[in-house]
């Protein structure tokens, strides 16, 4: 088992528990005979403490951890003497008893922080790193919750979610179509739908009086700062 708890789950009521966490190293700080490591996963950040007096070898191993190393840590949940009110897990820390480095990492090309030092081009080149940032993850979670709530509400009102095709006959409207060549019919093309309205009219005629779709529309327009093609 890679973990028994997530890095955003533990609270003061969990003090005294033996737990195993797994995640990325956000940062490591050495202060005297102690090393503090912030471990991050999708769910949050938990501080882990290595004490040279308890286990010098383990503390030395923690001193060689780099950013974005993937680690598995076992230890006991304890109340923090210096609490961090900005973190949901800020009242506790893990007193480490075991450390495993699952994967080492090169130094990331930009910091995995809300306020990063990476520009747009660099973050898009390493999008898989950018998606680890808390603010980006929070946006994806918000989008998920909004879509979930829309579906829950409309379902309670008797609406039926219907998926419409993403390859259609071209129906020229205000914007240009994205066209897709047909392998089966050389010289012929499908189009990506600018809107699902044609299909919705078919559904209405067929007696589906309540329907909805969270739809993707494809319009061959000039790019904008807040819009994909």
pLDDT tens, position by position, 100-119: 999 999 999 999 999 998 89
Length of the chain: 229
| Average pLDDT, rounded, for the chain | 92
User: Cβ contacts of residue 68 below 8 Å, gap of 6+?
Assistant: 24, 25, 105, 108, 112, 129
| Residue 182 CA, distance from chain mean position | 36
Domain ranges of the chain: 12-103, 109-157, 159-229
pLDDT at 175 over 90: no
Tokens standing for 137?
């993850």
The domain over range 12-103 is classified in CATH as 1.10.20.10:
no
H or E element, residue 29: strand 18-31
Specify the range with the lowest mean pLDDT, choosing from 79-83, 210-214, 219-223.
219-223
User: Which pLDDT value is given to residue 226?
Assistant: 73
In sequence order, the β-bridge partners of residue 160 are 211
Calpha distance 148→191 (Å, rounded) = 29
User: Which pLDDT value is given to residue 229?
Assistant: 67
Calpha distance 91→66 (Å, rounded) = 25
Task: For residue 194, name the pLDDT band (cuts at 50, 70, 90).
Answer: confident
pLDDT tens, position by position, 122-170: 999 999 999 999 999 999 999 999 999 999 999 999 999 999 888 888 8
Q: Quick check: 72 and 23 in contact, CB under 8 A?
A: no
Burial class (CB in 10 A: 0-12, 13-18, 19+), 65: buried
Longest dimension (CA), the chain: 77
């Amino acid at each position: 088992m890679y973990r028994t708890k997530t890095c955003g789950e533990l609270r003061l009521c969990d003090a005294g528990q033996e737990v195993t966490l797994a995640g990325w190293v956000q940062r490591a700080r050495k202060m005297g005979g102690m090393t503090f490591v912030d471990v991050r996963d999708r769910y949050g950040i938990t501080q882990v403490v290595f004490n040279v007096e308890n286990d010098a070898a383990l503390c030395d191993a923690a001193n060689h951890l780099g950013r974005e190393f993937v680690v598995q840590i076992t230890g006991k949940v304890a109340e923090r003497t210096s609490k961090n009110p900005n973190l949901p897990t800020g009242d506790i820390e893990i007193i480490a008893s075991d450390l495993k480095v699952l994967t080492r990492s090169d130094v990331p090309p930009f910091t995995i922080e809300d306020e990063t030092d990476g520009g747009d081009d660099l973050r898009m080149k390493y999008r898989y790193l950018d998606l680890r940032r808390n603010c980006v993850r929070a946006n994806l979670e918000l989008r998920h919750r909004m879509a979930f709530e829309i579906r829950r509400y409309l379902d309670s009102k008797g609406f039926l979610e219907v998926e419409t095709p993403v390859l259609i006959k071209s129906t020229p409207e205000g914007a240009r179509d994205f066209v897709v060549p047909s392998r089966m019919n050389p010289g012929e093309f499908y189009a990506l739908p600018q809107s699902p309205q044609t299909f919705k009219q078919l559904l209405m005629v067929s007696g589906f009086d309540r329907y909805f779709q969270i739809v993707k529309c494809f319009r061959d327009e000039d790019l904008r700062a807040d819009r994909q093609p």
